[in-house]
Chain A
Amino acid sequence: MAKVSVLNVAVLENPSPFHSPFRFEISFECNEALADDLEWKIIYVGSAESEEFDQILDSVLVGPVPAGRHMFVFQADAPNPSLIPETDAVGVTVVLITCTYHGQEFIRVGYYVNNEYLSPELRENPPLKPDFSQLQRNILASNPRVTRFHINWDNNMDRLEARENQDSSLGCGLPLSCTPIKGLGLPSCIPGLLPENSMDCI
């Protein structure tokens, strides 16, 4: 079973100018004290078309992690605009927070990010060369997409094959046109009621 489960990720200072750092407040819970540190990464997806434009904004070790609930703020600098294809600068993209233990990724939290000009004029007539200083970044904090992977938490156990969550297709290859949908997991409970089948006793 997963030793670490993420309880919440709060997106701080959102929306914010394009150049301001990303700040995520991450709370997680750990069942058993971990021998080693967790490694967290923030990955900015520069272009939906290719992983090539992914930028690892920062990676940080978190530890020591005893059993219990913990929280920390993960701050990372804004992406380097020069690495972003000009055509993809404005519009919806994705930022990913991943966590690995012993090099195995066990959770990936994805957010849609909408970059757009604040001023209506620029919105109407975007400059050919994107003006990043005028862009506002808006993370759709209410709709995280969470994918969990099974990993081997113990060194002594046979390494389990990390299997990707089947229903969650969020990743680097996420089509940009995809609109946020309801969260992963069970569909909401529809309080459906069957007509009662009354049967007489034999």
Chain B
Amino acid sequence: MKLLKPTWVNHNGKPIFSVDIHPDGTKFATGGQGQDSGKVVIWNMSPVLQEDDEKDENVPKMLCQMDNHLACVNCVRWSNGGMYLASGGDDKLIMVWKRATYIGPSTVFGSGGKLANVEQWRCVSILRSHSGDVMDVAWSPHDAWLASCSVDNTVVIWNAVKFPEILATLRGHSGLVKGLTWDPVGKYIASQADDRSLKVWRTLDWQLETSITKPFDECGGTTHVLRLSWSPDGHYLVSAHAMNNSGPTAQIIEREGWKTNMDFVGHRKAVTVVKFNPKIFKKKQKNGSSAKPSCPYCCCAVGSKDRSLSVWLTCLKRPLVVIHELFDKSIMDISWTLNGLGILVCSMDGSVAFLDFSQDELGDPLSEEEKSRIHQSTYGKSLAIMTEAQLSTAVIENPEMLQYQRRQQQLDRQGPAARDTGSASSVAGVVNGESLEDIRKNLLKKQVETRTADGRRRITPLCIAQLDTGDFSTAFFNSIPLSGSLAGPMLSSHSGPQLLPLDPGMPIPFSSSKPSTEPAAGTRPVGDAASKDGVNTATAPTTPSPSVLTTPSKIEPMKAFDSRFTERSKATPGTPALASTTPTATERLREQSLVKELRPRDVLESSSDSDEKAPAAKPSSLPKRKLELEGEAVEKKKKGRPRKDARLLPMSLSMQSPAALTAEKDTVCVSVPAPLKLPMPGPQRAFTLQVSSDPSMYIEVENEVTAGGGLKLSRLKCSREGKEWETVLPGRILTAAGSGDVVCVACEKRMLSVFSACGRRLLPPILLPSPISTLHCTGPYVMALTAAATLSVWDVHRQEVVVKEESLHSILAGSNMTVSQVLLTQHGIPVMNLSDGKAYCFSPSLSAWNLVSDKQDSLAQCADFRSSLPPQDAMLCSGPLAIVQGRASTSGRQAARLFSVPHVVQQETTLAYLESQVAAALTLRSSHEYRHWLLLYARYLVNEGFEYRLREICKDLLGPVHTSTGSQWESTVVGLRKRDLLKELLPVIGQNLRFQRLFTECQEQLDLLRDK
């Protein structure tokens, strides 16, 4: 062991209260008293480590000093990632510092030019909450949280990704809180206070787990700090100042049951600070000795008011070393180097000592993998993700990789400057193309000088650089409001209509989802009500179905924007409830309740969602009009159009129920005994349907137009950006749908007619196997969902079938499920959203139904891939998958679960979730989303270090380098060139040095291919 006291590390003789070594080991920070303020100094580590550097005048010793704290700084702590430094002081503030990249070295003005601030660290956040001196701060593993404790008796947990948000204030201590430590696996945080207690808090709910008081009962007097520490394996928590038999100790608290049976004894005065070595060690294997595997152990340094330092190994009963008289005053803080062999100690006397151990003395440190294995075996979770610091020690084997890394670093460096719209100067100091020198020459002439009202001179200073502060890239992480605001307009504008609940219990994004059994039960009374009088809903407007189910086919937002108005204005007297078809769901609910109040009899028509109101809505007397209409319905029934049994279909089918009942009564035409029936649109005199708002396109249908001679025809009118066309059809039109390419209508007698965008008939009428339920168009694709729950999709341009009379039996089987939403992608893939929250698409190539979304999917809820999200676009990925799955605020849930799910489980679920997303996007042939999820998945694999899967992906994307005839490899996937995707992946892979071999391989082969 070597001991060194670098005298140049000082605060001009003022006390140094805290020391912390940067995770990359190149610098360390000290905090303490400055001249008349608090002081934080960042020092270069290499002059401490190497004598040559210490003697070399060109090697800077002090890198930066910050005098911004108004009063003494009690604690400085680097974030685990090394990006930030947090300092807390007697001014009640916590300041978070970040290195400014755009400014080069500078001097502190007036300091004679000697104290160059080699690095610029600037305060990016000031955290104000404590009402007293801040005594200790601590970053959680992963840097998700920052904890601070204060003499105001509280511990505050700050959201480290969203300063200055406070996540929790832990109250419970009745004395000054003087020390904090996080459990290395992130489950707990412990605090020690002057109230003679040590408290352990859960991070899950920020509640008290336990309060330990016994070892502190005898504690008298006070120490300035009580810095406790948790062992890196998580097994032991060691307190500062405790007493045993009137001797000062450091109490060892076992995680298992919070037992307090052991302590570190020997110091003559109170223990102020305990710090565990970040490494776990195992015995050095000596040549010749039996290689029996020894138990791994931890190493702990204890500093005391008695000015001595002791270093302990948990496998030894006595201290490894005790150094007396190291300082003139109490030891205040200890920090280990990340490699576990060095230790910096600071003292109230204003000096710092460095101790250098050898591996022979401490043992062999376990690798991070071994350490994480210990965590995993003990807690089923590990936080040991390869850190940047370790990566930087890895050897870069490939020049490409090196270049890439350099480029990245350059980008990182240029990034902030470049972002600042050019006015921010980089080190060279160029403002708008002018060098700083030029500016200075003309500054006096150029600067704007005005006179204030009272005649004083006022100069507008010239801004020569903006600050690159505040770039905690939290923009995405605030995804809860963000996605809400995104999803809001999007859903309301275009998918709003399609999400109209045919089944009120269907979970829709706007209303809290209810268990699906509830609505099923709830709808029963409606059916009963209907069956009792069998008349009241004869006016069933039926327009909901066409409009609901046809408009949403397009993915572009705003499509169905104002169809609501057009529909309302065009509504004929026979369709009273039309108004409720297209407004956004929230508006709609409101409107419905209005409708209910005003016209209770129409309650059922508007697919009311509150079951208790349904019976009340039973009309006591029937308006004449309704009777007539009912008669009409019955008449139609007699014409032999099969009606379906409504009972299988809850609420949504209430409008059909009278017809169904009459059908039962008449027992005329229960022609299709299929157990599955879907709602059918009833006949209407006229209706209008907006296909899109941009370009404005709508379809008008007028039935029973008297054409003279007793002939009745139906007229179909289509208007598109002012151009109109008209055509007539013989039968009544039940429903219509349109896209930019085609317009199709379903008529009575199961006829489906398709017209081109200009009104030319494209096909002779198609005879559907059973009456139409839903008609839908996207591009050249026409989808018909029949009442007998069969689905067909045709490509009318190619005149080919895409999906042939596929039954929905398999997906609607059992229970009271209905189709709540249908979607036809631009590639002609039909997607059925069901009332139970599941969504299936039919893959024509597989000829099978694929589950693409499940609202109750626990994977989605446990998956946490925030770290892999790209900083910018993130949630902006839209497409069929996004529409089908809705935009539930999963990230919020993820955030909440960050530490509550064991890491392994979380990894697995995240992988599974991401994989299913990639597969679903692929099946939906949504290239944009496929790319998005694939990149996300790859990024996650890279971050978490899953090599095999990553390799498999790369292999598939790369394909055979040498063309072979036997190869089955497709060069494209959903319209994307696989090798282009791989090129996009490479930078992602390059981020983890662990994968440099893979990176090299792919890079080389791509180059090879390019050269060919």
Contacts and interface: CB of A to CB of B under 8 A. Distances in A.
Given A1-B69, A2-B68, A109-B110, A191 B461 contact: no
Interface stretch (A66-74, A86-94, A115-123): A66-74
A64 interface: yes
B4 interface: yes
A11 B943 CA distance: 53
15 contacts: A1-B95, A7-B109, A70-B461, A72-B460, A72-B462, A74-B459, A109-B109, A165-B35, A165-B36, A193-B54, A196-B3, A198-B1, A198-B2, A198-B3, A201-B361
> Ordered nearest first, which 10 A-B pairs have the shortest CB separation?
A146-B110, A183-B112, A1-B68, A70-B461, A69-B465, A61-B458, A185-B111, A73-B444, A72-B461, A197-B3
B111 A71 contact: no
Given A194-B7, A200-B1, A61 B457 contact: yes
B464 A166 contact: no
B49 to A, nearest CB: 12
A148 B444 CA distance: 26
Contacts of B322: 202
B35 A166 contact: yes
Interface in B431-489: 439-440, 443-444, 447, 452, 456-467, 469
Given A1-B123, A8-B109, A61-B458, 7 more contacts: A6-B109, A58-B457, A61-B456, A61-B459, A68-B465, A70-B461, A71-B461
A185 B65 CA distance: 11
Contact of B36 (A63, A69, A75, A150): A150
Contacts of A184: 110-111
B321 A201 contact: yes
B444 A144 contact: no
Interface residues of B, number: 67
A165 B12 CA distance: 14
A50 to B, nearest CB: 26
B317 to A, nearest CB: 13
A196 B2 contact: yes
B456 A66 contact: no
Contact of B466 (A10, A68, A199, A202): A68
A71 B456 contact: no
Interface of B: 1-8, 12, 35-37, 47, 51, 54-55, 57, 61-62, 65, 67-70, 93, 95, 103, 106, 108-115, 122-123, 126, 318-323, 357, 361, 424, 439-440, 443-444, 447, 452, 456-467, 469
B458 A7 contact: no
A190 to B, nearest CB: 7
Interface size class of A (residues with CB under 8 A): 35 or more
B241 to A, nearest CB: 24
Nearest to A9: B109
Contacts of B440: 10, 25, 71
Given A183-B112, A201-B361, A63 B460 contact: yes
Given A61-B459, A62-B458, A196-B3, A31 B112 contact: no
B3 A167 contact: no
A178 B70 CA distance: 31
A60 B112 contact: no
Interface of A: 1-2, 5-10, 23, 25, 27-29, 31, 37, 58-75, 109, 143-146, 148, 150, 160, 163, 165-167, 182-194, 196-202
Given A27-B464, A196-B3, A191 B57 contact: yes
Contact of B460 (A64, A143, A148, A201): A64
Contacts of B458: 37, 60-63
A69 B429 CA distance: 11
B123 A31 contact: yes
A62 B35 contact: no
A153 B65 CA distance: 21
A109 B457 CA distance: 21
Contact of B4 (A60, A65, A197): A197
Contacts of A166: 35-36
Contacts of A58: 457
Contacts of A23: 444
Contact of A70 (B55, B444, B462): B462
B443 A146 contact: no
Nearest to B461: A70
A67 B2 contact: no
Nearest to B69: A1
B110 A201 contact: no
Contacts of A2: 68
A57 B518 CA distance: 83
Contacts of B93: 1
Nearest to B449: A60
Contacts of A69: 103, 463-467
A1 B54 contact: no
A130 B390 CA distance: 71
B741 to A, nearest CB: 53
A90 B900 CA distance: 77
B12, B68, B103, B110, most chain A CB atoms within 10 A: B110
Contacts of A72: 443, 447, 459-462
B456 A59 contact: yes
Contacts of A73: 443-444, 447
Contacts of B6: 194
B111 A183 contact: yes
Nearest to A183: B112
A30 to B, nearest CB: 8
A199 B321 contact: yes
B1 A62 contact: no
B623 to A, nearest CB: 67
Given A191-B61, A196-B2, A201-B1, A71 B464 contact: yes
A8, A10, A58, A68, most chain B CB atoms within 10 A: A68
B55 A193 contact: yes
B411 to A, nearest CB: 22
A66 to B, nearest CB: 7
Nearest to B424: A68
A143 B319 contact: no
B280 to A, nearest CB: 20
A202 B458 CA distance: 70
B108 A185 contact: yes
B519 to A, nearest CB: 53
B456 A202 contact: no
A29 B461 CA distance: 11
Contacts of A189: 8, 61-62, 114
B69, B439, B440, most chain A CB atoms within 10 A: B440
Given A60-B458, A70-B464, A202-B321, A191 B123 contact: no
A163 B36 CA distance: 8
A46 to B, nearest CB: 22
A196 B4 contact: yes
Contact of A192 (B7, B36, B110, B466): B7
A11 to B, nearest CB: 13
B463 A150 contact: no
Nearest to A75: B444
A143, A183, A199, most chain B CB atoms within 10 A: A183
Contacts of B452: 61
Given A61-B458, A68-B463, A145-B110, A186 B70 contact: no
Contact of A1 (B126, B462, B467): B126
Contacts of A201: 1, 320-321, 357, 361
Contact of A60 (B68, B103, B457, B462): B457
A25 B443 contact: yes
A62 B115 contact: no
Contacts of B462: 70-72
Contact of B70 (A1, A190, A199): A1
Contacts of B109: 5-9, 109, 144, 146
A146 B444 CA distance: 24
A5, A182, A196, A202, most chain B CB atoms within 10 A: A202
Nearest to A108: B110
A77 B50 CA distance: 54
A60, A69, A183, A196, most chain B CB atoms within 10 A: A69
